[in-house]
Structure 1
C-alpha cells in the first residue's frame, strides 16, 4: 500500500482504514483532500477491500480550513494579508479533488470523534455513514465567517437531513451536538467517544461481509448522479465564495472567529 504525507492507510481484513494525521484539529487543504481521494482510488483498485473507514487523530475529525494560517510561500505578504483564504491555495482545485472523493466506488464509514466544521463537515458527509459521540460537533459555520457554504454541502446536506434542517445549520452556523445529529440522521450511530473508531470499523466490517459485486452495484445505484450533483453545486459555491472572499465582512468574520468574539458585519 502507498505511503502518504498526512494520512495513514491500513487494511483490516476486507476493510480499508484512512487516518487523517494532522492533529489536533486536522485542518484541510488541497493536499490533504487529494491524498484522501488518492487513497480511496487505491482502495477501489484493491479487490480485497470492500468498504473503508475514514478516521482522524487528535480531538477533531476535521475543523475545516485554517484561514488564520499564512499564505503559501509563493504568495507575497500583501496577498496573505488581503485574503484570509489564500492559505488554502486555489479553491477551484480543492473542489476538483473533493469531487474525486464522491466518485469512489466502495462504501465509506466516517468515524467522527470530535468537531467536523465547515469543509470538515463536507468531508464527513462525503462518507455513506457517520459514527459519532456526544462530544461530536457538526457545523456549517460559513455564514458566521461572512462566507458561502462549500464542499458541495448545498447539495449533500439537504439530501441527508432535509432542506429545512440544512437551512437551519447554514443560516445560524450553530454547532450541532452528536445527540441532535443522531436524531436528525446526520449521524447513523452514537457511541461513547472512546468507542467511535471501533464502532465505525465494526459497521464497515458488517458491510464487508456482503457480496463485493452486489455492494458495488447497489451503491452505484443508490449514489447515481451524486458526484455530478456535487460538481454542479461546487461550481456555484465557488462563484459565490470567490465574490464574498473579497468583502470586508469576510475579513471581519475570520478575525472575529480567531478572536472568539461576535463579528461586526457591515454588509460590505
Structure 2
C-alpha cells in the first residue's frame, strides 16, 4: 500500500486509520482524493481489516477546495495556469466516486471544520463522530456556486431534504451540537476524544462477521455510488456555468476578506 505523500495509513487490530496530512486545513485536490481512494481500495482487499476510520491532522477535518482570494480569476472563473477546469473537476469527481464504491464501513472523525467539498468527503463515511468545536457547512451559495461532491444526494439522505435544503440555501455553519441533533453526526464527544471514539465505534463493528458486515453494508447503501456519479455530472455542469459569473468571483473574494458578499446576480 502506498507510498503516500499526503495521507498515512495505520492498522490496529481489525481497524485501519486513514489520516489526511495536509494541515492546517487539509484542502483537497485530485491527488489527495486519489490517495484516499487507493488506500480504501487496498484495505478492501486486506482480510485483516474490517472497518476504517477517516481522520485528519491540523485544525480542520477538511476545508474543501482552495479557491484562493479571487483576485486572479479570469472570465472563466479560473486562476492563471488552470486549463480545462471543468475536465479537472470531472476527474476529481470520478476519483471521488471511487470512495463511494469501497466495501468496508467507514467512520469519519470530525474534530474540526468540514466545509464545502470537505463536507462532501465527510459524507462518504457511514458514520460521523464529532465535537462541539466542529463546524459543518455546505457554503456553496455563499460562494456564488453550486453544491458538489455528490452532496445533493448524500446530505438529504442523511438529514432529510428540508434540512439539507436549509444548509444549501443559507450556507450557514452548523455547530457540532446542532449536527448531532439533526443526525448529521452520530456521536458527540469532547474534541480530544473524537478520534478515539471513532476508533471504538469502528472496533465495535469489526467484532462482527466480516462477510456479513460487508454484505449488510452493500444492501444498506444500495446504488448510492451510481446516484452520486449521476449527481456529480449535473453538479459539475452547474458549477461550470456559475464559475463564469461575477457573483462567483465576488463570493471567493468576500470569503478571503471575511466579509459579507455583495452579489449582483450577474
> Residue 78 and residue 140 in structure 1: after superposition, are their counterparts in 2 closer, same or farther (change >3 A)?
closer
Tell whether 2:107 aligns with 1:127: no
Task: Quickly say closer, same or farther: Cα 1:16–1:110, change in 2 above 3 A.
Answer: same
Deviations 1:115-134 (A, max 9, x none): 00000000001100000000
Normalising by structure 1, what TM-score? 0.94
Residues 167-206 of structure 1 mapped to structure 2, 5 A cutoff: 167-206=165-204
Q: Deviations over 1:174-228 (max 9, x none)?
A: 0000000001110000000000000000000000000000001100100110000
Deviation sequence 1:40-75 (CA, Å, 0-9, x none): 0000010110000000000100011110079xxxxx
Map 1:102-181; keep pairs closer than 5 Å.
Answer: 102-181=100-179
Query: Where do residues 1-268 of structure 1 align in structure 2 (5 Å cutoff)?
Result: 1-68=1-68, 82-84=77-79, 86=82, 90-268=88-266
Give, in angstroms, the shift of residue 81 of structure 1. 9.2
Change in CA separation of 1:247 and 1:2 when aligned onto 2, cut-off 3 Å? same
After TM superposition, the score normalised by the length of structure 2 is 0.95
Give the whole-Å Cα distance in 2 for the aligned partners of 1:236 and 1:79. Answer: 23
Measured after TM superposition, the shift of residue 108 of structure 1 is 0.1
Report the secondary structure of 1:36's partner residue.
helix
Summarize the Cα distance change of 1:95–1:170 in structure 2 as closer, same or farther, 3 Å threshold. same
Aligned CA RMSD, in angstroms, stands at 1.9
Q: Distance in 2 between matches of 1:219 and 1:208?
A: 13
In 2, Cα distance between the equivalents of 1:87 and 1:248? Answer: 19
Shift of 1:2: 2.4
2:148–2:236 Cα contact (<8 Å) kept: yes
For structure 2, list consecutive stretches of 5 or more residues without a partner in the other structure.
Answer: none
| 1:80–1:87 Cα contact (<8 Å) kept | no
